[in-house]
Amino acid sequence: MFKKYLLVFVCGYCLPVAAADKYLIDSEHTFSNFEYKHWGLSLQRGRFDKNSGSIELDMDNKTGSLQIAIEADSINTGSDTFNNILRSENFFNAAKYPKISFLSNRLIFNEDKLVQVEGDLTIKDVTRKVTVDITHFECRFMILYLKRACGANGNTKILRSDYGVGRYVPFVSDEVTLSFSVEAIKD
């Protein structure tokens, strides 16, 4: 009983803990990109145009979380024919698996700079751990929104066969580089 009262007494003098700030993904300035080697001839690129989600960020404690949802049918390679092939059952099967998601479980900081995000990437109901290396991270007040905003760029490498999207391996590279350009506005 003494310990209980001592704990209450000590905590009565604790400083309030800062809450994490919540940011909503700006879908007009957020893109998920991919690149792969096509039949050994060239490096091909594409992106997913529809991204949503949120970020919680506690800069004082260097913690937070990130959740991004990507609409699989928003794939954009610059070719309607190729987009439809990638949306089909042979690749993303966007009708059956409409969302690709990333949910962080750890943000890694070097002083005030976010340098890595660890989390779970889910494609076609297959979830694997990935580490996204952050190449740029910045937060500041944005006059355009009259609110604070954060932006980041990062990338990771995956094997598409790990997610059931491995058609034409090894002719089309199994390894894919995923890159993210994210901007989020404080809620």
Residue 171 CA: distances (Å) to CA of 49, 93, 158, 165, 174: 26, 21, 16, 14, 8
Note the pLDDT tens digit of each residue in 26-50: 999 999 999 999 888 899 999 999 9
Domain of residue 134 covers: 18-186
The contacts of residue 172 (CB under 8 Å, 6+ apart) are: 36, 37, 38, 39
Residue 12 CA: distances (Å) to CA of 1, 5, 17, 44, 153: 17, 10, 13, 59, 42
Classify residue 140: in a domain, yes or no: yes
Note the pLDDT tens digit of each residue in 46-58: 999 999 999 999 9
Quick one: average pLDDT of 89-118?
A: 95
pLDDT of the residue at 8: 37
Classify residue 135: in a domain, yes or no: yes
Strand partners, 56: 22, 65
Residue 24's CATH number: 2.40.128.110
Classify residue 13: in a domain, yes or no: no
pLDDT of the residue at 61: 94
pLDDT of the residue at 19: 78
Which amino acid is it at 45? R
pLDDT(10) > 50:
no
| Pair 184, 150: CB distance under 8 Å | yes
Quick one: average pLDDT of 5-13?
A: 39
Classify residue 145: in a domain, yes or no: yes
The DSSP code for 29 is S
Classify residue 42: in a domain, yes or no: yes
Classify residue 171: in a domain, yes or no: yes
Classify residue 10: in a domain, yes or no: no
Quick one: average pLDDT of 5-24?
A: 57
pTM of the model as a whole: 0.86
The structural domain count of the chain equals: 1
Give the residue from 24, 57, 12, 39 showing the smallest Cα distance to 170.
39
